[in-house]
Amino acid sequence: MSRGRLQDRVAIITGGARGIGRAIAFKMVKEGASVMLLDLLADELAQVVYELKALGGNAYSITSDVSDRSAVDDVVSLTLKKLGTVDILVNNAGISLADSLEEIKEEDWDTLVKINLKGSFFCVQSVIPIMKDNGYGKIINISSRASLGKLSRTVYSATKAGLIGMTRSMALELARYGVNVNCVAPGPIATELFNSVNPEGSEKTKAIIDAIPLKRIGRPEDVANLVAFLASDEASFITGQTIFICGGLTVGMAH
Ligand SMILES: NC(=O)c1ccc[n+]([C@@H]2O[C@H](COP(=O)([O-])OP(=O)(O)OC[C@H]3O[C@@H](n4cnc5c(N)ncnc54)[C@H](O)[C@@H]3O)[C@@H](O)[C@H]2O)c1
């Protein structure tokens, strides 16, 4: 494998079994990083690791839940044991829920906050001692364009907007230790999840594409390219920022 921008770096990627997380894992391995993937989906994780190894990559996985603090600590310990350190953390694991404001249940609120916000927070808390010791770290949180508001996504958008605030505060606190913290907020990205509710060629999907100035749905690889850049030393003067990757959807009306 040729030397890449992330040569010899070690990355933990949450939600790496499919969709955007899977694409980030492939991109980072192609750029030379070793990766530890964590996800709830054991079979899919094993398949991704198998494919990464077939490319010559150094990849491990652990079936784990980001919202379980002690499980997250175990993932970090295993990463130290297998890969020696942690240079990069990508908080990608997340769930969405379509909700009507009046029908949303308290337990749905708690679940989304627990996974999307607290889970990301636990992962950061767990890697911080290592990054401080190294005087080096890159943390990338995956928010959403829904953080700006999206119909029937009150709780989801609250958690994703929360990640943006968390990113800014963490960036300030960790800058003195050489740790960059940034946020990526994707627009519609054609993952399995997106395709299952927006079939290719359907009227609904055509309407979404029509509203996007660049006239296409994003690909997981689009997000992976941005995340890999933010994880690299080419982005060393960027911290506390949120970059929307949405084909221009969040900028305004194209006509
Ligand atoms: N696809 C989009 O259009 C889109 C848009 C904006 C933001 N996002 C965000 O990007 C991220 C990835 O989304 P995706 O579309 O690839 O979704 P996805 O459902 O395909 O992938 C998410 C992964 O996270 C895992 N996961 C969920 N809860 C977990 C937990 N508690 N612990 C560990 N792993 C867990 C899932 O098993 C899954 O493999 C999410 O945070 C999502 O909110 C996606």
Tell whether ligand 1 has an atom less than 6 A from the beta carbon of residue 218.
no
pLDDT at 158 over 90: yes
- Res 95 pLDDT > 60: yes
Residue closest via CA to ligand 1's atom 23 equals 15
| Mean pLDDT of all residues in 148-159 | 95
Q: Whose CA is nearest to atom 8 of ligand 1?
A: 144
- The pLDDT of residue 2: 57
Distance 254 CA to ligand 1 centre (A): 28
Q: Whose CA is nearest to atom 19 of ligand 1?
A: 193
- Closest atom of ligand 1 to 17 CA is 39
Taking CA atoms, 97 is separated from 100, 199, 251, in Å, by 10, 18, 24
| The predicted structure's pLDDT at residue 11 | 99
Average pLDDT on 36-62 reads 98
Q: Where residue 252 falls among pLDDT bands split at 50, 70, 90?
A: confident
Task: Measure CA 182 to chain center.
Answer: 11
Average pLDDT, the chain: 96
Nearest CA owner, ligand 1 atom 2: 189
pLDDT, mean of residues 180-201: 92
Check residues 30 and 255 and name the one with the higher pLDDT: 30
**How many angstroms separate the CA atoms of 109 and 117, rounded?**
11
Report which ligand 1 atom has the smallest distance to the Cα of 94: 41
1 contacts 32 by C-beta, under 8 angstroms: yes
pLDDT number for residue 233: 98
Residue 16 CA: which ligand 1 atom is closest?
39
Tell me what the mean pLDDT of segment 86-93 comes to.
99
Is 177 considered catalytic here?
Answer: no
Partners of 19 in beta bridges: none
Nearby residues of 155 by Cβ (< 8 Å), 6 or more positions away: 97, 99, 104, 108, 109, 112, 113
For helices 119-134 and 154-174, angle between their N-to-C axes, nearest 10 degrees: 10
Give this prediction's pTM: 0.98
Domain ranges of the chain: 10-190+219-244
The C-alpha R_g of the chain, in whole angstroms, comes to: 18
Identify the CATH number of the domain defined by range 10-190+219-244: 3.40.50.720
- 97 Cα to the center of ligand 1, angstroms: 11
Whose tokens are 């980001």? That residue is 66
Is the Cβ atom of 71 under 6 angstroms away from ligand 1?
Answer: no
Q: What is the pLDDT of residue 20?
A: 98
pLDDT in the model for residue 64: 98
Better-scored residue on pLDDT, 252 or 121: 121
pLDDT band at 1 (very low <50, low <70, confident <90, very high): low
How confident is residue 255, by pLDDT bands cut at 50, 70 and 90?
low
Which atom of ligand 1 is nearest to 146's Cα? 6
Task: Tell me the pLDDT band of 89, cut-offs 50, 70 and 90.
Answer: very high
